[in-house]
Every structure is written in structure tokens, then in C-alpha cells.
């Protein structure tokens, strides 16, 4: 199978059509407006953060005189200047101050902000503070945090099904081990930014690069000590989010709003890239300890595992992230007896946060690790072990959280990919190659993905949309989702255009604002088009019902003889253009505006008992990767990747293919080249693209065959029977790790599992090769 | 300090701090915000512009050094109704997601195709004497200074290959 190509339509308005991204022409001509591009009103000030210089300690004194006296400085803000609460903790735990007070808990924590006439003046002045500390012991990683007593930032979770101790002792074979999984910086190309404009009374408008405008609104209100209704948060688009703007924009928005109200002038804040990387949270790194029992065919009988995460100094989203790691501890595999536990550890590092996959990738990666252990122990192809453990149809289909897997398509999907990628023949050829190749070695692996869709916080699974039709027939669309490049705005507009039978050019997609749709959820958990698409469809349904009743009256035909056809209706056989229908509806006083609403059905989750149905459905996928390593240097390349991925009935195949390709490459970066490195003082030393390597065009596999699973339709009644696509493809990159592992294992004739930790940098490959040479 | 910059065919007289980068001069003083700031370090390519037709990172050079140079930004590559061939190809191939890297990618690709036409070899060119072929490998290598965190690379390379008339 070759790479799937899809012709992109520049006009149209149907679901399931490869319509061009709504901002495409603006993107290519530089006219798409990001927050830093908004024209600054006269008098705009610029804020810059002053960061702590140690990882943990009491603040003894703060001398900001030199900062205040620096040229161009208008003022400084510290915790004492906050009229409301000094907290931007998303779970409202009061552990996430805007400005550190009394003590600092990681190196790079904001202590104050300086406000200047120019960004340059504020930035220079921020370095002039004299802060003295009484240092305290700093626990920087999982091991150190455990040694220091294992303080947790939030309640841990345990999922249990069956009797794991009995299952383990019954099992004929056992394997135990530890896997260390690295974190990842989001490196959204547009950094964090907020721009606040003061208004009358308590009002403030904040342009914030955020995936979660309603939360920014709430946080700004808390910090300023005012009501939510006084705060309006706007975001037209982000220059990338990936989870890094789910909560991490809160602090910047709060500082900009605080300064704007304090000085009664517009205030913009935009950290430079280094400070952005140092002061904002990342993907959690994990240490997973496991004990697994299995039979002689490689069937898993019991799994007991602990997932410890470096959460950083505060809870942020670490609770739901570590929960989701456990929800994906099974990936696509059935465990008869299972107990998995999370350990969300407090460390003196930046507070880790959401990142595409949200803990799921770490959970799945560990599952693939023990599959690999079993395969090497039994001398089998890991793919056979995977297949032996896939969830069944009708039996062997209960997850560790007691949800039944009802929509399993993994056997068919993997079977098709195995054939189209010619997996078996290529594996044989690689085994033959490795027998005679002295320096270069190859590896190949096929890994599956099963990813649960819905927020595990059940109340988040709601969405609103606001649709107006104006007298001239033009349509205004607002919804609670945010656009960060994933094509959500285009997809929701397609849903609406499809409902009215009009072209997408009739629809104006409005930037997201808290003033139009209240109490929205983060655009996260891959849920954007599922939720907002349904809300928009609900608004369209209401307006269409009114238009149908109006047309039935006007044209004196029964309502069931009104048919929606492209660009209008047929009323008793007569075509009425959409614009004419709307114009007459207005004159007849028909309401042409509706608020749509949607809440995901069927889901429930009881965290206390670890039981429920947290997910409406699952998205599936699989990939085959082939790599070549140099056993003398550890350098390697990914030669070929084949992907088959399930998006149900795609709302927009072009956008979905882009998400899959991009997700895979980003996942490959996480697992191969992106290494975060803190020194012993707790200073992040990989704080710019010079030292932190994300994938480049030249890192894309030269053969990269990506295809949608065209026969799949969502069993659940989602919008157009589509499935979510934002996160699941990231985990397709697991096959790169497994393929590298095979290449390394060849050095010891595949007798020992190499157990490479991630990211699998060339150094780790080389160390793995040397371990193999030394006898495993 | 006074400097006159020629940007997209228009002369602009500016009075700026001599430490102002060309990127900041374009964005903050000339309101040409199409050119993006991704890192301000010369490491991401978001700020790529054309200087006398050659691509450079505008964050790595000072505005006052460019009196008399012909500066072209993404805004100068098209009129509102007529996109350049590369711009149109990026739309037709969905060569972006969030779009933040896109102006830099397009300016960079515009300059890169000229470099290939002029016979400049790259790290992956086999024969340094012959004219380099426009393979996907050459395009990817030559575009590796322009980061795209959304990893829209396959479509970016498609778009460039189409305009450059790539050897398959
Ligand atoms: S902003 Fe100039 S290279 Fe990144
Ligand atoms: S399109 Fe988002 S960084 Fe390239």
C-alpha cells in the first residue's frame, strides 16, 4: 500500500470531504493573525517574569529596587499585589501560585513580573533582581522523590480486576522489570502569550494563546478577585498547543490581566523561548515497575505494575494524566488478573502537564515492553505475542477499569497492515541480513494502538455552539473549541454547512470567546470535533426546524414535504434558495439564532471503586517501522514506516491524514531524539532548539505509507460516525522503539530483550549494543 | 539610528535602536507581522525572509545592516488575489497545520529552489560536479532549518516538490 493521497477541495461544504483548512490562504500569505500580531493600541506595556534561581528554598529577601529603577520600567508586581487569590491551580488545590511566596519550589519559578514600556526594557530589568534564598533539599526525579518520602501531588489511583497475586503465582512463567520513559517539551512554535486590555468597571479582555479559554477566564477572575462575567477571553488560533496550552497559559493571562488593571493600560506578556521551556510544564516522565505472569504460548495471565511519574512541584493535571496512564496500561491487550497503581510524585521541577496522549502513551509503552520481554524469553516474533493477547470479540474483553471493549477492530486492522506492509517477508529478510552484516543491523516491528476517547472527568464531556443566520443568508458560527492547527474550525464548519446544505464560504468561523459560549471544556482529549461538531449540529437542527415550519406555512405544504437540498429547500416540489428562505423567515419574525448543546452519552466513572465506562469508544491504529542501526556508533535511521489508522468515517480525510502523519512524527521525536536534561542543581539544560532536538523534515522516514482505515465507522452515534484523531496517532511511534530494540537484540542473537529506555538516543542504542555484547 | 529599509519594494525610513534585529524591525516597526518569531535564536526558521533573493533568519541580523538591500517577506510574495506558485501549492497540499511556521517555510522554499537552480550542492548531494536533482531527500535536507512542530513535513515536501518539478 502506498501513501494515501487525497485531493484537497478549495470549496464545498460537506462532511467527509477533504476541504482545505479554513485559514490556508491566510497561513501561506502571512495574514493569519496570532496574538503577537494583533495591532497594539497606543500605550501598550510589556510584562516579563523574574524567575527563581534555585530549585527549592525559603525566600529570605527580595530586593527589586534595581528592577524598578531600570530605564523604561513602569512597575513591578509580586504576590503582595494580587487582589484575589495567588493561585492558578487547575484542580483548585492552591498549590500553583502566580508568584512564589515564602518559598520557591523549582528553578525557574516566577517570583515577580516587571512591567516596561517595551518588551526589551522589561526583559533586561527582570535580570536585575537581588533575591536571597535559604536552600532546602531538592528532590529532582522519581528516585529522589521516593527517597525523600514519596510525597504525592494528588490522590493516586489503583485499578484492580481479578486476583493478581493468585494470577501471578499460578502463572508458569514470570518476568519483572523496570522501564524509564522520558518526558517531552511541547515546543509549540508560537510560545506562550497573553495580551490584556483593561475596560470599564472590573472588565478586562484577555487574548490568550490557550486551549481552555473558560479556565483562563476563571483563573483571571480568581486572581483579580472579580466575577467571571467581567473577564472575556479570546483566542482565534494558536501556533500549536499539543496540551502545552491546556493549563500553562493561565499564569501568563493572569499576569497580563493583573498588570492591565493595575496600570490601566494594555499589557502583553510573551516569554522568550528559553524561559518558556524552563518555566512551563512538559510531558511527564515515568518509571514503571512491573511483574507479569504468562503461559508457554505467551498469553499474559497477570499484570502487577506501578507507574511513578515526575509531576513537578504542583498537581496541575497530574491526577488525570497518571489516571490515563493506567487506563492505557492494557493498550490492546486483555489481562485476566491485573492491578495497576499510579504514584504521582512531587518533585522540585517544573509542574508537568498535559501533552498529546495525556499519560496514555507512557501506559501503552510499558505494555509493549512486557510483550517484548515475553517474546524474547520465548524466542518468538513479538507480533505473535501481541496477537495472542489482543482483546477478544465477546470474551476476554473487559478492561482493568471494568469497561467492556465493544468496538474492537484490532485483529482486522493489524491483519491488513501486516499484509500491506509485507511484514513477514521483510522480517525474514531482515533476520537474514543481520546474520551476515557485521556493523549495520536492522529491525522491524508492528505495534498496535487502542486509545480511549472521552474526558475521564465526566463533566468535561459537554460543549456549546452558537449559530446565527443573518438576513442576507450569511452564517455566523461560534463554538467552545479552539483551533491549534488540528483543523477543528474547518471540521465544525463542515458539519454546519452540511446541515444547511450550503457552501462553507457562507459561514464565518468566529474566533473562540467566552462571551459567546460559556463554561466550555478544554480543547483536549482529542474531543474537539466530537463535542463541538455535535453542538453545532444541535444548533442547526433547531434553526432548521423553525425554517421548515415557516416554509410549510408560507408555501402551504405539509412540513414533511419540505426537503433540504443543496443551497436551499424544496417545498412541495418548488425550489427555494437558502437566501430567499432566510429573508422571508426574518420578515415573518422567525428566530434565526440558536445555542446548541451536547453532552456525551453513556459514560460514567467512579474513581473510588475504579469502575465505570470512562470512554464512549476507542480509536485504533497500528504501524510497522523498519530501522537500521550502526553498532559501532549507535546512530540509526528509520527507513520505512507503514501506518493504518482508524478515524471512523473521516470528517475530513486530508486533515486526518495530516494529524496522523504529524502525530507519528511528534511521537517519534518523543521516543528518539527529544531528551530533557536537568543538571544536579535542577536547572533545565535543554532549553532551546540548540540542545533539544525535535524532528526535522529530514527525519521523516523516506518511505512513509499512511492510510486511513476506510471501512471503519464509529459504532457510537458520533458526528458523521467519525472518530477522534488528535492524540491516538502519536502512539503509533512505539513501533520505532521496538524496531530499534530488535536491531540491538540481533547482536546477542535475539536471546535477550535489550530493554531500551526512552528516548532511544544513539547513546542508548550504543549502550544497548554494548550490554548485548557483554552478555545481556 | 537612521536606516532606510527596502521591504517588498517599498522604502521605509526608520529611526531605531541599532541593536534591533531585522525581525523586530519588520514586526514591531513596520507592522509586517507575517514573519514569525519562534525562537529568536536562529534555530527554528520561523523568521526566514529573502535578502536579495537569498534566504536568511531575520532574527540573526540587525536591521541597520540592511540599508539598500532588497528585503522580501512573505507579504511580498503575493497579492491578495494571486498567491505565488509555492503558496498555492501549500494550500493544495495542506502543507501546514497551525500555520505558525508556514511563512518561514514558504520564504525558505522560495530561496531554496533558487539555490538548487544555481547548482548549489547540499549535504546529501552525491555528485558535487553535476546539477543537484530535486529529490525528496534533497528537499528535506535543504528545508531542515525550518522546524515544524506540527510535523506537516510530508505535505510541505509534496508542495515544494510539485512547484520545483521534482524528480520522482
Ligand atoms: S525566530 Fe529566527 S530562527 Fe527562530
Ligand atoms: S504548521 Fe505548526 S509549526 Fe508548522
Q: Are residues B125 and B153 in the same domain?
A: yes
Mean pLDDT of A84-93: 96
**Confidence (pLDDT) at A242:** 97
With a CB cutoff of 8 Å and minimum separation 6, the contacts of B92 are: A8, A10, A20, B159, B162
Contact residues, chain B, for A189 at CB < 8 Å: 36, 38, 44, 46, 98, 100-101, 147-150
How many interface pairs between A and B have CB atoms less than 8 angstroms apart?
Answer: 188
How remote is the CA of residue B147 from the centroid of ligand 2, in Å?
8
| pLDDT band at residue A280 under the 50/70/90 scheme | very high
Q: Are residues B157 and B105 in the same domain?
A: yes
Q: Are residues B69 and B113 in the same domain?
A: no
Is the CB of A27 inside 8 Å of chain B's CB atoms?
A: yes
Strands laid side by side in the A562-565 sheet: A562-565, A568-571, A574-577
Place of cell 510539485: B162
**What are the distances in angstroms from CA A35 to CA A238, A486, A675, B36?**
8, 18, 29, 11
- Buried b / exposed e over A546-574, threshold 16 CB at 10 Å, is ebbebbbebbebeeeebeeeebbbbbeee
Contact residues, chain A, for B43 at CB < 8 Å: 688-690
Q: How far apart are CA A270 and CA A612, in angstroms?
A: 42
Q: For every residue of A429-469, which 3-state class applies, written as one string?
A: HHHHHHHHCCCEEEEEEEEEEEEEECCCCHHHCEEEEEEEE
Contact residues, chain A, for B17 at CB < 8 Å: 120
* Cis amide leading into A759 (omega within 30): yes
Task: Judge: B43–A690 Cβ closer than 8 Å, yes or no.
Answer: yes
Ligand 2 atom closest to residue A240's alpha carbon, by position in its atom list: 2
Instruction: Write down which residue in B54, B77, B100 finishes a domain.
Output: B77
**What are the distances in angstroms from CA A225 to CA A83, A93, A196, A217, A610?**
6, 17, 16, 12, 37
Structural domain boundaries, residue B118: 85-164
Domains of chain A, first to last? 403-458+609-776 (3.30.365.10), 462-599 (3.30.365.10)
Mean pLDDT of A260-284: 98
Place of cell 536492522: A442
How remote is the CA of residue B57 from the centroid of ligand 1, in Å?
6
Domain of B39: which CATH number?
A: 3.10.20.30
Cell numbers given for A269: 506578556
Q: pLDDT of B16-56, one tens digit each?
A: 999 999 999 999 999 999 999 999 999 999 999 999 999 99
Is the CB of A48 inside 8 Å of chain B's CB atoms?
A: no
Q: Are residues B100 and B57 in the same domain?
A: no
Ligand 2, CB within 6 Å, residue ranges? A 189, 240, 485; B 96-102, 148-150, 152
Q: Are residues B68 and B98 in the same domain?
A: no
Q: Are residues B66 and B22 in the same domain?
A: yes
**Confidence (pLDDT) at A333:** 98
User: Which residues numbered 675-694 in A keep a CB inside 8 Å of some CB on B?
Assistant: 688-690, 694
CB atoms within 10 A of CB A432: 11
CA distance to partner chain B, nearest, from residue A18 (Å): 10
Ligand 2 atom closest to residue B98's alpha carbon, by position in its atom list: 2
Residue A776 has pLDDT above 80, yes or no: no
Q: pLDDT of A547-565, one tens digit each?
A: 999 999 999 999 889 999 9
- Buried b / exposed e over B68-96, threshold 16 CB at 10 Å, is eeebbbbbbbbeeeebbebbbbbbbbbbb
Is the CB of A20 inside 8 Å of chain B's CB atoms?
A: yes
Place of cell 497594539: A40
CA A243 to chain centre: 4
Intervals of chain B under pLDDT 50: 167-168
Q: How far apart are CA A567 and CA A582, in angstroms?
A: 12
Mean pLDDT of A407-427: 98
Q: Are residues B59 and B121 in the same domain?
A: no
Q: Are residues B102 and B61 in the same domain?
A: no
Is the CB of A9 inside 8 Å of chain B's CB atoms?
A: no
Residue A71 has pLDDT above 50, yes or no: yes
Cell numbers given for A42: 497606543
**What are the distances in angstroms from CA A623 to CA A50, A191, A368, A446?**
45, 31, 13, 6
Residue A316's nearest CA partner among A278, A272, A346 is A346
Q: Are residues B90 and B73 in the same domain?
A: no
Cell numbers given for A526: 482529542
Q: What is the DSSP letter of B121?
A: -
**Strand partners of residue A95:** none
| pLDDT band at residue A189 under the 50/70/90 scheme | very high
Place of cell 555528485: B127
Tell me the longest C-alpha to C-alpha distance in chain A: 88
**Confidence (pLDDT) at A752:** 95
How remote is the CA of residue B48 from the centroid of ligand 1, in Å?
7
Mean pLDDT of A91-118: 97
Q: How far apart are CA B12 and CA B48, in angstroms?
A: 20
Q: Are residues B30 and B53 in the same domain?
A: yes
What is the domain count for chain B? 2
Strands laid side by side in the B48-51 sheet: B10-15, B2-7, B70-72, B48-51, B54-57
Q: Are residues B70 and B102 in the same domain?
A: no
Global confidence as pTM: 0.97
Q: Which residues of A form the catalytic set?
A: 727
Residue A227 has pLDDT above 70, yes or no: yes
Q: pLDDT of A644-665, one tens digit each?
A: 999 999 999 999 999 999 999 9
Residue A599's nearest CA partner among A713, A717, A497 is A717
What stretch of H or E contains A668? helix A653-672
Tell me if B70 sits within 8 A of B26, measured CB to CB: no
Instruction: Write down which residue in B57, B77, B97 finishes a domain.
Output: B77
What stretch of H or E contains A163? none
Mean pLDDT, all residues of chain A: 97
How remote is the CA of residue B96 from the centroid of ligand 2, in Å?
6
Domain of B112: which CATH number?
A: 1.10.150.120
Q: pLDDT of A334-387, one tens digit each?
A: 999 999 999 999 999 999 999 999 999 999 999 999 999 999 999 999 999 999
What stretch of H or E contains A252? helix A249-263
Instruction: Write down which residue in B77, B109, B143 finishes a domain.
Output: B77
Ligand index nearest the alpha carbon of residue B45: 1
Q: How far apart are CA A246 and CA A316, in angstroms?
A: 10
Q: pLDDT of A420-462, one tens digit each?
A: 999 999 999 999 999 999 999 999 999 999 999 999 888 999 9
Q: How far apart are CA A165 and CA A254, in angstroms?
A: 49
Amino acid at each position: 500500500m502506498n501513501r494515501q493521497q487525497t485531493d484537497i477541495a478549495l470549496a464545498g461544504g460537506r462532511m467527509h470531504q477533504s476541504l482545505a483548512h479554513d485559514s490556508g490562504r491566510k497561513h501561506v500569505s502571512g495574514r493569519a493573525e496570532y496574538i503577537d500580531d494583533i495591532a497594539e493600541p497606543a500605550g501598550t506595556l510589556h510584562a516579563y517574569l523574574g524567575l527563581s534561581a534555585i530549585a527549592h528554598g525559603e525566600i529570605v529577601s527580595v530586593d527589586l529596587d534595581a528592577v524598578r529603577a531600570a530605564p523604561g520600567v513602569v512597575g513591578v508586581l509580586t504576590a503582595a499585589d494580587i487582589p484575589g487569590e495567588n493561585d492558578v491551580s487547575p484542580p483548585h488545590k492552591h498549590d500553583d501560585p502566580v508568584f512564589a511566596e515564602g518559598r520557591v519550589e523549582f528553578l525557574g519559578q516566577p517570583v515577580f513580573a516587571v512591567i516596561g514600556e517595551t518588551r526589551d526594557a522589561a526583559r533586561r530589568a527582570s535580570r536585575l533582581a537581588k533575591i536571597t534564598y535559604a536552600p532546602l533539599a531538592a528532590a529532582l526525579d522519581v528516585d529522589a522523590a521516593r527517597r525523600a518520602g514519596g510525597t504525592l501531588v494528588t490522590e493516586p489511583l489503583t485499578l484492580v480486576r481479578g486476583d493478581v497475586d493468585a494470577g501471578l503465582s499460578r502463572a508458569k512463567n514470570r518476568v519483572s522489570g523496570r522501564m524509564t520513559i522520558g518526558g517531552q517539551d511541547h515546543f509549540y512554535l508560537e510560545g506562550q502569550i497573553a495580551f490584556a486590555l483593561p475596560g470599564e468597571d472590573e472588565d478586562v479582555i484577555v487574548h490568550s494563546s490557550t486551549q481552555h479559554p473558560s479556565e483562563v477566564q476563571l483563573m483571571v477572575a480568581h486572581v483579580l478577585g472579580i466575577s467571571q462575567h467581567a473577564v472575556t477571553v479570546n483566542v482565534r488560533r494558536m501556533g500549536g498547543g499539543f496540551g502545552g496550552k491546556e493549563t500553562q497559559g493561565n499564569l501568563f493571562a493572569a499576569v497580563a490581566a493583573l498588570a492591565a488593571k493595575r496600570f490601566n493600560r494594555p499589557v502583553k506578556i510573551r516569554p522568550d523561548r528559553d524561559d518558556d521551556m524552563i518555566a512551563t510544564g512538559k510531558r511527564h516522565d515515568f518509571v514503571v515497575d512491573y511483574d507479569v505472569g504468562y503461559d508457554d504460548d505467551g498469553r499474559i495471565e497477570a499484570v502487577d505494575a506501578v507507574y511513578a511519574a515526575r509531576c513537578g512541584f504542583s498537581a496541575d493535571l497530574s491526577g488525570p494524566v497518571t489516571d490515563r496512564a493506567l487506563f492505557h496500561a492494557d493498550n490492546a491487550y486483555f489481562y485476566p488478573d491485573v492491578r495497576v497503581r499510579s504514584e504521582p510524585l512531587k518533585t522540585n521541577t517544573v509542574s508537568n502537564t498535559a501533552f498529546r496522549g495525556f499519560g496514555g502513551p507512557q501506559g501503552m509503552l510499558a505494555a509493549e515492553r512486557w510483550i517484548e520481554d515475553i517474546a524474547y524469553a520465548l524466542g518468538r516474533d513479538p507480533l505473535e505475542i501481541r496477537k495472542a493477547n489482543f482483546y477478544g470479540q465477546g470474551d476476554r474483553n473487559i478492561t482493568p477499569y471494568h469497561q467492556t471493549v465493544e468496538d474492537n477492530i484490532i485483529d482486522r486492522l493489524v491483519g491488513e497492515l501486516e499484509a500491506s506492509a509485507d511484514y513477514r517477508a521483510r522480517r525474514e529478510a531482515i533476520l537474514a541480513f543481520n546474520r551476515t552484516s557485521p556493523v549495520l543491523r536492522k529491525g522491524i516491528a508492528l505495534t498496535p494502538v487502542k486509545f480511549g476517547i472521552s474526558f475521564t472527568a465526566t463533566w468535561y464531556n459537554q460543549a456549546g455552539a452558537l449559530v446565527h443566520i443573518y438576513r442576507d443568508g450569511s452564517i455566523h458560527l461560534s463554538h467552545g473549541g479552539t483551533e491549534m492547527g488540528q483543523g477543528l474550525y474547518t471540521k465544525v464548519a463542515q458539519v454546519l454547512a452540511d446541515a444547511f446544505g450550503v457552501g462553507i464560504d457562507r459561514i464565518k468561523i468566529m474566533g473562540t470567546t467566552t462571551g459567546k459560549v460559556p463554561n466550555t471544556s478544554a480543547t483536549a482529549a482529542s474531543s474537539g470535533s466530537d463535542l463541538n461538531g455535535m453542538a453545532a449540529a444541535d444548533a442547526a437542527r433547531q434553526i432548521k426546524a423553525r425554517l421548515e415550519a415557516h416554509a410549510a406555512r408560507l408555501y402551504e405544504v405539509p412540513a414533511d414535504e419540505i426537503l433540504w437540498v443543496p443551497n436551499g429547500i424544496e417545498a412541495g416540489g418548488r425550489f427555494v434558495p437558502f437566501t430567499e428562505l432566510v429573508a422571508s423567515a426574518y420578515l415573518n419574525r422567525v428566530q434565526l439564532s440558536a445555542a446548541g448543546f451536547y453532552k456525551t452519552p453513556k459514560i460514567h466513572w467512579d474513581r473510588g471503586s475504579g469502575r465505570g465506562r470512562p470512554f464512549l469508544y476507542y480509536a485504533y491504529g497500528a504501524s510497522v517501522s523498519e530501522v537500521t542501526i550502526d553498532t559501532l556508533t549507535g546512530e540509526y535511521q528509520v527507513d520505512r514506516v507503514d501506518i493504518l489508522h482508524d478515524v471512523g468515517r473521516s470528517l475530513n480525510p486530508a486533515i486526518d491524514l495530516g494529524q496522523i502523519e504529524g502525530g507519528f512524527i511528534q511521537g517519534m521525536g518523543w521516543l528518539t531524539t527529544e531528551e530533557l536534561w536537568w543538571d544536579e542543581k535542577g536547572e533545565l539544560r535543554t532549553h532551546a532548539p540548540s540542545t533539544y532536538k525535535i524532528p526535522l523534515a529530514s527525519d521523516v522516514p523516506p518511505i512513509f505509507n499512511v492510510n486511513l482505515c476506510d471501512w471503519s465507522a464509529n459504532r457510537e452515534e458520533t458526528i458523521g460516525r467519525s472518530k477522534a484523531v488528535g492524540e491516538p496517532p502519536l502512539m503509533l511511534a512505539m513501533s520505532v522503539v521496538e524496531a530499534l530494540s530488535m536491531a540491538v537484540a540481533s547482536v546477542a542473537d535475539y536471546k535477550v530483550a535489550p530493554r531500551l529506555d526512552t528516548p532511544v538516543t544513539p547513546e542508548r542504542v550504543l549502550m544497548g549494543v554494548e550490554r548485548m555484547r557483554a552478555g545481556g | 539610528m537612521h536606516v532606510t529599509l527596502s521591504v517588498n519594494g517599498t522604502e521605509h525610513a526608520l529611526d531605531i535602536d541599532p541593536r534591533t534585529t531585522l525581525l523586530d524591525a519588520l514586526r514591531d516597526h513596520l507592522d509586517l507581522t507575517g514573519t514569525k518569531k519562534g525562537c529568536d535564536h536562529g534555530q527554528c526558521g520561523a523568521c526566514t525572509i529573502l535578502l536579495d533573493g537569498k534566504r536568511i533568519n531575520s532574527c540573526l541580523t540587525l536591521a541597520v545592516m540592511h540599508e539598500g538591500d532588497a528585503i522580501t517577506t512573505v507579504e511580498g510574495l503575493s497579492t491578495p488575489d494571486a498567491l505565488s506558485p509555492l503558496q498555492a501549492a501549500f494550500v493544495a497540499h495542506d502543507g501546514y497545520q497551525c500555520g505558525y511556521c508556514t511563512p518561514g517555510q514558504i520564504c525558505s522554499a522560495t530561496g531554496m529552489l533558487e539555490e538548487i537552480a544555481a547548482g548549489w550542492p547540499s549535504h546529501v548531494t552525491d555528485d558535487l560536479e553535476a546539477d543537484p536533482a530535486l529529490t525528496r531527500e534533497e528537499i528535506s535536507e535543504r528545508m531542515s532549518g525550518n522546524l515544524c512542530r506540527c510535523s506537516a513535513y510530508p505535505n510541505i515536501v509534496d508542495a515544494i516538490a510539485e512547484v520545483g518539478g521534482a524528480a520522482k
